[in-house]
Amino acid sequence: MWHDGETWWEVYKFRLAIAVGVMFLFSAWGSWQEVRYGLWGRTATASVTRAYRDRDYGGKRPRTVLRVEVEIPLDDGATQSARLTTSPSARIADGDQIAVRHIPGVPRSVRLASDANVYAVVVFGFCLVAMIGFVIWAAKEANRPYGGRYREANDRPVPAKVVQATKKRRPLKPLKPLDEE
């Protein structure tokens, strides 16, 4: 079915385009989070009120995390309490001053200022370029004359010797009906 020289390559490229499309969607969400923090986020120095190790049961296996409760000073002089989760290897203790990034008015939008996810933006850029490449490739394939990838090899003129040999063939004898035998 897919064993000829052209079809397996077309199916491979189609599957690759689907995989890049799925990566594009996930990286678009991750890069949107970074854009949100970039446009509306504020960096503030927060005081740690409580830092403790805890178990997080969000995945397949529970893992140890460091939960940090902070007080963020706002522009109007009030403070906002928030909780964030980070790696247990972070050296944060009660009473420390840490730099956090938050979006004012959005609950649970507090993160450490150093927790930027630049990788999602890079993957999004790669996927965007790849998707544009696949669209250009598909447009070129759709506008090319019949013959596909190996069109140039199939469109060569037939040598004159081959044409003469096919003209010299003797015609086939007609078949006899079965009931005459």
pLDDT, residue 155, reads 55
Which of 53, 70, 102 is where one domain is finished? 102
Q: Which helix (H) or strand (E) holds 17?
A: helix 7-40
- Please identify which residue in the block is written with the tokens 């503030």: 44
pLDDT for the residue 104? 82
Other CB atoms closer than 10 Å to residue 106's CB: what's the count?
11
Task: Give the HSE-up count for residue 25: Cα atoms under 13 Å, Cβ half-sphere.
Answer: 5
* pLDDT tens digits along 86-128: 888 888 989 999 999 988 888 888 888 888 888 888 888 988 8
Q: What is residue 51's predicted lDDT score, i.e. its pLDDT?
A: 92
Give me the pLDDT at residue 50, please: 92
Instruction: Please report the pLDDT score of residue 99 as a whole number.
Output: 92
The confidence score (pLDDT) of residue 68 equals 92
In contact, 50 and 68? CB cutoff 8 Å: yes
Residues of the chain with pLDDT below 50 are 1-2, 148
pTM above threshold 0.75: no
On whether both 121 and 173 belong to a single domain, the answer is yes
Residue 40 near residue 56 (C-beta atoms within 8 A): no
CA angle 12, 17, 18 (to 5 degrees): 100
For position 16, what pLDDT does the model report? 84
Asked if residue 109 is part of any domain, the answer here is no
Residue 28 shares a structural domain with residue 57: no
18 is a domain residue: yes
Measured between alpha carbons, how far is residue 15 from residues 20, 43, 125, 134 in Å? 9, 42, 20, 11
Range of the domain at 33: 1-41+117-181
Residues 97 and 53 in one domain: yes
